Amino acid sequence: MPEKFSVPLQGWLFTAIGEIIRSDVHLVGGNLPSPHCAIATVMWLMAYRYRRLAFWLLAPVILCLYVSTFYGRYHYVTDSVLGIAAGLLVIGLAPRLLRSWNRLARRSAKETP
């Protein structure tokens, strides 16, 4: 949809910086899923698990980050949604991967003379 985004965003300092990043640094199509949303999701859920106050303090920041990734034209909505899903997947898989890794390490230690 390039015709929808042919006009630069209007704003002050951060808008200007965002436009410079988008035009000179950003790789078009290279951000599926959104790494910003994935990392923010992991961080936010870890805050929920270990520091509940931090979770609530981060809520407006993380929610704004989710929206700003597509509102600021850095990602499509699907990129952001899939980034959140990737973060959730990592949170779900990490404990299982760690248990498997530890099992393999113990087995390897037993086999080593």
Would 2 be classed as within a structural domain? no
Would 25 be classed as within a structural domain? no
Please report which helix (H) or strand (E) contains residue 22, including its range: helix 13-24
Q: What is the DSSP letter of 73?
A: T
Would 26 be classed as within a structural domain? no
- Parent domain of 90: 32-111
Would 101 be classed as within a structural domain? yes
Among residues 46, 45, 31, which one has the least CA distance to residue 80?
A: 31
What pLDDT score was predicted for residue 93? 95
What pLDDT score was predicted for residue 10? 75
List the chain pLDDT tens, one digit each, 113 residues: 566 666 666 778 877 887 777 777 766 555 678 888 999 999 999 999 999 999 999 999 999 999 988 877 777 888 899 999 999 999 999 999 999 999 999 988 887 76
What pLDDT score was predicted for residue 49? 94
Would 52 be classed as within a structural domain? yes
Number of structural domains found in the chain: 1
Among residues 82, 79, 62, 61, which one has the least CA distance to residue 70?
A: 79
Would 10 be classed as within a structural domain? no
Would 1 be classed as within a structural domain? no
Residues 6 or more apart whose CB falls under 8 angstroms from that of 42 comprise 87, 90, 91
What pLDDT score was predicted for residue 69? 84
Would 66 be classed as within a structural domain? yes
